Amino acid sequence: MLHTRNILTASMVLTLALATAPAFAQSAVAPAATELRVFDPSLVDTKIDPCENFYRFSCNGWFQRNPLPADQTSYGRFTELAEINRKHLREILEQAAVASPARSANDQKIGDEYASCMDTEAINARGIKPLEPELARIDALKSAKQLPALLAHLHSIGVSAFFGMGSGPDYANASQMITFFGASGLGLPERDYYTRTDAKSVEQRKQYIEHVKKIFVLAGESEAQAAQDAATVMALETRLAKASLTETETRDPQNLNHPTEIASLEKSLSHFALVDYLAALHAPASGKANNSQPKFLAEFNTLLVDTPTATLRVYLRWQLLHAFAGTSLPESFDNESWNFYAHTLNGAEKQQERWKRCTGRVDREMGEALGQAFVAKYFSPADKQHALEMTERIEQTMAKDIDSLDWMSAETKVKAKDKLHTVMNKVGYPDKWRDYSKLTIERGDVLGNAQRVAQFETARDLAKIGKPVDKTEWGMTPPTVNAYYDPQMNNVNFPAGYFQPPFYSSKEDDAANYGDMGSTIGHELTHGFDDEGRQFDKDGNLLNWWTAEDEKKFNERASCVVKQYDAIEAVPGVHLNGKLTLGENLADIGGTLLAWMAWMDRAAAEHVDLTAKVDGYTADQRFWIAYAQQWCTQTRPEQLRSQALTDPHAPDEYRTNTVLQDLPDFAKSFSCKPTAAMVSKDPCRVW
């Protein structure tokens, strides 16, 4: 239930950075912030022809300085900055962890939670005892009729069993929050891990069963019983997976839009007392709802009839253990969870240091309490103003670009610009900080804290149902090194943690800043008009505002991008999925072009000498190099495979080379011949 809307409608929140490189997901020894530059000529490998492989030309120096750390599945420029931010947060948390009557209420909460997470000796000593009351609840399940109340409790404490439920903007009226139901409850990353028939996928399923078995053994089961229970979990989850939408299918909002009434859904769930579930969860028992995956809930309903109660208990025990097998349980659970998810699936060789994981935990749990302290020290009002000004310039450029499109009718252009002019720009941090006064954090109760945080977030989320949408609310915390566009809110969101070197610096020139941060801003704006975002109108409603002919032309141009990325083999035998990555690819191509045009306008206004060289490169060349250097990333083959199969973002090499191959202005800047590798013979462009 934690961050439920993002779980149920994940495809509706469109981000810039790789899913493999979010803030606080990775670690390594990072250089000091003063050493990072937006355009860094020392990272350029002049032995590489920029017209043959611009990614290697721009990044080889970075690769040589930054071998992939053992505790990472990937490590890049996003990680560099995230590590700097993480160190800042550690300082804040260690200071807040010192017990003092002078601590503020928020400092007490973030400090005591951090201290609790770091106390592995106490966590190990308690063993699994703190979880025994929850295990007892599950053991007390005697029939499926008792499931609604039990499931409501488990959902409220952060256990994602069977299905998800929470609030979200109504697709038909994005100004109102309604109840959402969706698929959940899988232990593997996504549906197709259960259904693919290639040798690697078969092997990973066997490894997953072994992982589940080991967790059960750690919880006190015999080897034989644990093996039997692991097989039971796999069979039940496979059944749920087969009834779920694929990752690609969830990218189309039309596949998720199934409005209903709670009363109607109650009738369709003939073997699950939905009214009892909602009452136990203290959620609205009537009103409009959206059943984002009807096939899944229908299968869940059937499953309750033909599945023994003992099987339900086994599955729920696993989901409970799985939910807390990180920093909330003894290190044996933590290490086993890391071994499967980070090492086996994604290739990491070493577990992160504890302080890094505990810092990340507090950021996830109380990100606005921690973020408020971060912003006060590391994000000035001037930084926020600069970011807003750049965003507004790129929006102005996009309006002119829409006017210039030769494939779009005047009628659709008017509506496109109306939508653009309605976009809300959110930079840095919320206007109003979240109130954590109702959240209790007890020093030393690390598992209880996790459960109370989940209950706090569940109550906060459910309280939104039936109320107007709050467009000022943030889905990322202020220290995050990432950005996103929300089509139902029609807003772009740039956290404070992102507006720093190596992505933005007031000490560097516009060429570098527009090539890097400008392309990010353009990327998020373009998401409002990609294959998903374009289906929402200026108010965030799922409404087709396109003429039939314009929609046809859009799809024709988008298919060019699909084919282009389908042809890329990320690792031997695994190609990228052009449809899965289409939205991010359109945003990369369109956003980079917007940033280029905005910078060219600014350069003309500032009378920039485009022939003058700084650090050996002209201004336009610095723009492209800065763009490429944001994507310098080392990635393990296992991670590349997982990313190609599940991630809507293409690997960083292709977010550089494949994007720039489609932009003729890049080729002009480096005098690339038409036959060069960095010049596409069939360039794609939509926006």
Instruction: Read off the pLDDT band of 383 (50, 70, 90).
Output: confident
What's the confidence (pLDDT) of residue 14?
Answer: 64
What average pLDDT does the segment 117-134 reach? 98
Average pLDDT rounded to a whole number, residues 170-177: 98
Under 8 Å between Cβ of 494 and 483: yes
Residue 473: is its pLDDT beyond 80?
A: yes
* pLDDT surpasses 90 at 22: no
Q: Taking residues 105-125, what's their average pLDDT?
A: 98
Distance, in Å, from the CA atom of 275 to the CA atom of 582, rounded to the nearest integer, reads 40
Contact 538, 471 (CB under 8 A): no
| Per-residue model confidence (pLDDT) at position 233 | 98
Q: Find where tokens 């577990």 sit.
A: 351
Q: What is the bridge-based pairing of β-strands 177-183 and 288-291? A: parallel
For residue 18, pLDDT beyond 70:
no
Strand, coil or helix: 331? helix
Whether residue 448 has pLDDT greater than 70? yes
Percent of residues, the chain, with pLDDT higher than 90: 94
Order of all β-strands in the sheet with 259-261: 163-169, 177-183, 288-291, 259-261
Is residue 462 within 8 Å of 166, Cβ to Cβ? yes
pLDDT tens sequence across 308-323:
999 999 999 999 999 9
Token digits for 159? 């256990």
Q: Which of 647, 642, 666 is nearest to 589 (CA)?
A: 666
pTM, full prediction: 0.93
Q: Is the dihedral of CA 33, 39, 41, 43 positive or negative?
A: positive
In angstroms, the CA 345 to CA 642 distance is: 7
Residue 427 has pLDDT above 50, yes or no: yes
Q: What percent helix, strand, coil does the chain show, rounded to 5? A: 55, 10, 35
Q: Which of 134, 450, 454, 458 is nearest to 321 (CA)?
A: 134
Angle between helices 223-242 and 294-306 (to 10 degrees): 140
DSSP sequence for 556-585: HHHHHHHHHHHT-EEETTEE--TTTTHHHH
Contact between residue 226 and residue 213 where contact means Cβ atoms under 8 Å apart: yes
Strand 484-486 with 14-15, pairing: antiparallel
Q: State the chain's maximal CA–CA distance in angstroms.
A: 78
Please provide residue 313's backbone torsions phi and psi, each rounded to the nearest 5 degrees.
Answer: -65, -40
3-class state of residue 4 by DSSP: helix
Q: How many other C-beta atoms are found inside a 10 Å radius of the C-beta of residue 448?
A: 16
Q: For residue range 337-366, what is the model confidence (pLDDT) as tens digits?
A: 999 999 999 999 999 999 999 999 999 999
Based on DSSP, count helices (H) and strands (E) in the chain, helices before strands: 27, 14
Residue 216, Cβ density class (10 Å: 0-12 exposed, 13-18 middle, ≥19 buried): buried
What separation in angstroms does the CA of 666 have from each of 177, 515, 560, 596, 614? 44, 11, 19, 9, 18
Q: Which pLDDT band, with edges at 50, 70 and 90, does 13 fall under?
A: low
CA distances from 479 to 34, 82, 157, 650 (A): 18, 8, 25, 24
Q: How many CB atoms lie within 10 A of CB 225?
A: 14
CA 499 vs. chain centroid, Å, equals: 18
Q: Which two tokens stand for residue 131?
A: 């979880």
User: Where does residue 252 rank: exposed (0-12), middle (13-18), buried (19+ CB within 10 A)?
Assistant: middle
Question: Which tokens hold the place of 226?
Answer: 């644990």
Taking residues 147-163, report their average pLDDT.
Answer: 98
- Residues 41 and 626: their CA atoms lie apart, in Å, by 9
**Residues 244, 194: contact at Cβ < 8 Å?**
no
Give the SS3 label for residue 550: helix
User: How many other CB atoms sit within 10 Å of the CB of residue 336?
Assistant: 18
Question: What pLDDT does residue 179 have?
Answer: 98
pLDDT exceeds 50 at position 30: no
Contact 493, 485 (CB under 8 A): yes
CA distance 663 to 670: 12
Average pLDDT over residues 146-158: 98
What pLDDT, on a 0 to 100 scale, did the predictor assign at position 16?
Answer: 62
Bridge-based pairing of strands 177-183 and 569-571 is: unpaired
Task: Give the mean model confidence (pLDDT) for residues 132-137.
Answer: 98
Instruction: Work out the percent of the chain whose per-residue pLDDT is above 70.
Output: 95
pLDDT tens column, 599-625: 999 999 999 999 999 999 999 999 999
63 has a pLDDT exceeding 70: yes
